[in-house]
A = this chain, B = another copy of it.
Amino acid sequence: LAKAVYGLPEIHRDAIKGATLVANPGCYPEAALLALAPAVREGLVADDVIVDAKSGISGAGRGGLATSVMDHFAEANENVVAYGLDGHGHGLEIAQELAELRKADGAKVTFVPHRIPMTRGILATCYAPLRDEGVTKRAVWEMYREHYDGEPFVRVTDTPPQTKQTIGSNFCLVYPTVDERAGRLIVVSCLDNLVKGAAGQAVQNMNVMFGLREEEGLEQLALYP
- CB pair A80–B118 under 8 Å, yes or no, is yes
CB distance from A166 to the nearest CB of B (A): 10
Interface of A is mostly: mixed
A84, closest chain B residue (CB): B160
**A interface, size bucket:** 35 or more
A121, closest chain B residue (CB): B80
- CB pair B119–A118 under 8 Å, yes or no, is no
- CB pair A112–B186 under 8 Å, yes or no, is yes
- CB pair A164–B223 under 8 Å, yes or no, is no
Is A170 an interface residue when CB atoms closer than 8 A count as contact? Answer: no
A123, closest chain B residue (CB): B80
A163, closest chain B residue (CB): B80
The 3 nearest A-B residue pairs measured at CB = A108-B182, A79-B164, A57-B73
